[in-house]
Amino acid sequence: MSNSHPTTLLAEVTHRCPLHCPYCSNPLEMSRVDEELTTEAWKRVFTEARELGVLQLGLSGGEPLVRPDIEELAAHARTLGLYTTLVTSGIGLTERRASRLREAGLEHIQISIQDSDRSSADRIAGMSAVPQKLAAAELVRSLGFAFSINVVLHRANIDRVGELIEMAASLGADRVELANTQYYGWALENRNALMPTRSQVEAAGAVADEAIVRFRGRMQILYVLPDYFESYPKPCYGGWGRHYLVVMPDGRTLPCHGATHITTLRFDSVRDRPLGWIWAESSAFNAFRGDTWMREPCQTCPRKAADFGGCRCQAFALTGDATNPDPVCTLTPLRGIIDTAVGEATGPSDYRYRVLPLSFQRR
């Protein structure tokens, strides 16, 4: 049971996407188009989320703009008072749709950039998307949205972190998020091809630190460290089932977007249950609340109040047991798993691209 209010809902309105990024955060088994929630179902989910206390909404995917009802969903969110972010590749953001989204009251648009080098960007996305992204960025800036650029960093682009920051500034971004790859799902499949070296990580961190100071007041720069290169795990979304909800295209509701990788959990759907029930009562949301589930060394560790034992999805993916400590933590003998992975990641950079099976496409 939880009496706390969630603050954030990530609505993955579709898994369809024109891009094929090898670090995609969508599950390996994606929802089909005919499983996607309807417009009315999503509106009900947003209303229930606001009643639960949610204040931040992410309209995400896949590429959310493949759905023709994003404007209607954004307008509904605005009437509820939600602060809404459209998380997009930029593909499909035409002048008409951008204007309609502005009229709908959408406040914030985040556009992904794969790299500052065009041929590298095309290779990462698995398609040529740069001209459409640049046009979308110009629309977002000129229409006065709050504007963020998001870049996932990995071996092939991390050396250009300085150029990426300059690119975001030249596009007129208010914020740029430089997030090192988190290794779940597709990214875990591609870990050996994506993992940077320690010297790459250190050099990029120094560039980002300098830029954060230099751009202060003009553009906010967030640099998210790669957890494999840190000593302690990240506090996954401020703790399991404490602040965050993810609703997948088919309505299943998760405590974080990677949670489907924990195959021992069963996730209830908003098709069957109210969101408030799922938040308060469902077995998945209660699985790792509090600390009674924790093993040593977490159980008696003073850090448990700060990091909650780290990421449950990572513990499961790397050790097969979600109640283990996150292997990133240097206080657990499991850390060897991470050090081995970092040491081995020198292989060729051939990606296994994220692709939707043909049967997933709209018929």
Residues that bind other proteins (CB under 8 A): 5, 7-8, 50-53, 55-56, 81, 83, 85, 107-108, 110, 146, 148, 174-175, 216-217, 220
Decide whether 148 or 180 has the Cβ nearer to other proteins: 148
Minimum separation from the CB atom of position 206 to other proteins (A): 22
Minimum separation from the CB atom of position 108 to other proteins (A): 5
Minimum separation from the CB atom of position 275 to other proteins (A): 13
Minimum separation from the CB atom of position 174 to other proteins (A): 6
Decide whether 53 or 68 has the Cβ nearer to other proteins: 53
How far is the C-alpha of 335 from the C-alpha of 265, rounded, in Å? 24
Q: What angle do CA 40, 55, 7 make, to 5 degrees?
A: 110
Minimum separation from the CB atom of position 4 to other proteins (A): 11
Decide whether 215 or 293 has the Cβ nearer to other proteins: 215
How far is the C-alpha of 309 from the C-alpha of 289, rounded, in Å? 11
Decide whether 182 or 324 has the Cβ nearer to other proteins: 182
**Nearest-CA neighbor of 26 among 255, 184, 194?**
184
Amino acid at 58: G
Query: What is the number of other CB atoms lying within 10 angstroms of the CB of residue 299?
Result: 13
Minimum separation from the CB atom of position 148 to other proteins (A): 6
Paired residues of 160 in beta bridges: none
Q: Is 66 in contact with 92 (CB distance < 8 Å)?
A: yes
Decide whether 56 or 286 has the Cβ nearer to other proteins: 56
Segment holding 112, helix H or strand E: strand 108-112
How far is the C-alpha of 168 from the C-alpha of 180, rounded, in Å? 17
The burial of 3, by beta-carbon neighbours within 10 Å (0-12 exposed, 13-18 middle, 19 or more buried), is given as exposed
Decide whether 225 or 345 has the Cβ nearer to other proteins: 225
Backbone angles phi, psi at 40, to 5 degrees: -65, -35
How far is the C-alpha of 111 from the C-alpha of 107, rounded, in Å? 13
How far is the C-alpha of 73 from the C-alpha of 101, rounded, in Å? 10
Minimum separation from the CB atom of position 243 to other proteins (A): 9
Query: Residue written as tokens 């295209």?
Result: 249
Decide whether 80 or 337 has the Cβ nearer to other proteins: 80
Minimum separation from the CB atom of position 225 to other proteins (A): 17
How far is the C-alpha of 363 from the C-alpha of 357, rounded, in Å? 13
Minimum separation from the CB atom of position 82 to other proteins (A): 9
Query: Residue written as tokens 């092939």?
Result: 156
Decide whether 174 or 291 has the Cβ nearer to other proteins: 174
The burial of 305, by beta-carbon neighbours within 10 Å (0-12 exposed, 13-18 middle, 19 or more buried), is given as exposed
Decide whether 179 or 356 has the Cβ nearer to other proteins: 179
